[in-house]
Structure 1
Amino acid sequence: MARVPSGRVHNLINIAAYSVLAAATLVASRLEAVVVTPAQGLWFTLAYAAGTFLLSPDLDLAEGRVDSKRHWGVLGVLWVPYGMLFSHRGWSHTWLVGPLTRLLYVALIVALVLGLLTYLVPGLTLPTLPEPLSWKVAAPLLVGYYLSQWLHLIADGVRPDHGARRVRRK
């Protein structure tokens, strides 16, 4: 098996790709070839950064030392069960399902924390998401997050049909 980049190299690849993409988007915007609002740029950037530094596919190794887990600080321990659920380079390293598993895992943690808070502090008013969530917000979030994940997988040499090939073999 080919040697895969370290977490630090993955981060540098994503930072370099982001820099090129940001510069190209700026030029395309100046030429009026694309229209990107500051808010869309911010949502994309936040999701891309979260996908690069906090929600890396390598969280399936969360029982050990993983950059993404360390970036969570003391909350990094929350990723240990995720690492136990997913074998390294298994479903967590697929192109569509893998990133989705990490989003669902974060949603589960948030739901548990919010449920605990509302149980412990009756009458607590929690902020809500705007309804419906606009595609002008959702699209940049999803594109930024998934692009950061796909760059990691490309650097690891994982093909887009990775998960489908594993299922067919079994």
Structure 2
Amino acid sequence: MNASHSGTMAPVPSGRVHNLINIGAYSVLAAAALYAARQELVVITPAQALNFTLAYAAGTFLLSPDLDLAEGRVDSKRHWGVLGALWVPYGMLFSHRGWSHSWVIGPLTRLLYVALILALIFGLLRFVAPDLQVPTIPQPISVKVVAPLLLGYYLSQWLHLIADGVRPDHGLRKGYRRVRGR
């Protein structure tokens, strides 16, 4: 919740409103990028546009900062279907609007959590079926591939935080107060 100028707490947007904000922002951004590309102000490959779009959609619909409420009803958890139960431990690890709602570390925690889940799944698959071929990440990973993915993902997260009224130094201020208070 945000403190308004009157001292009362203002409500934060619902999951549906967060999704609509992100969809609207994406529409404006896509139109601007298309215009800039047509004017030859920027060069955006179809693969870069696709990577940005997929990461932005994943950040908006599947990896919302509100997964720290995964014990309850959260849009992002519901979008995972039956796999939404995998986010309950994440919700137990992070208090709502704590580190999971910080600008850099919060989105990173969700990416690391997904990586942990995938590592456990692939580890189990290798144990159960050692001859099974599992997909690998091609090496080396190009910045032209990673940059649009990270930009799309982080931008979707930051729009959520802006709508919640979370400042960029949110997690840092809490940690600084704890350290300074000791």
Specify the alignment match of 2:147 in structure 1.
139
Give 1:127 deviation, angstroms: 1.2
SS at 2:10 equivalent: coil
After TM superposition, the structure 1 = structure 2 runs for residues 31-42 of structure 1, keeping only pairs within 5 Å, are 31-42=39-50
Specify the alignment match of 1:158 in structure 2.
166
* Structure label with greater radius of gyration: 2
In 2, Cα distance between the equivalents of 1:121 and 1:64? Answer: 35
In 2, Cα distance between the equivalents of 1:14 and 1:64? Answer: 22
After TM superposition, the structure 1 = structure 2 runs for residues 4-153 of structure 1, keeping only pairs within 5 Å, are 4-153=12-161
Structure 1 runs (4+) deviating above 2 angstroms are none
SS at 2:92 equivalent: helix
In 2, Cα distance between the equivalents of 1:161 and 1:2? Answer: 20
Q: How many residues align?
A: 170
In 2, Cα distance between the equivalents of 1:123 and 1:9? Answer: 46
What's the TM-score once normalised by structure 2's chain length?
Answer: 0.93
For structure 2, the 5+ residue unaligned runs are 1-8
Give 1:125 deviation, angstroms: 1.1
Give 1:123 deviation, angstroms: 1.2
In 2, Cα distance between the equivalents of 1:157 and 1:141? Answer: 25
Superposition RMSD in Å = 0.5
In 2, Cα distance between the equivalents of 1:25 and 1:46? Answer: 16
Give 1:168 deviation, angstroms: 1.4
Give 1:124 deviation, angstroms: 1.1
Give 1:133 deviation, angstroms: 0.8
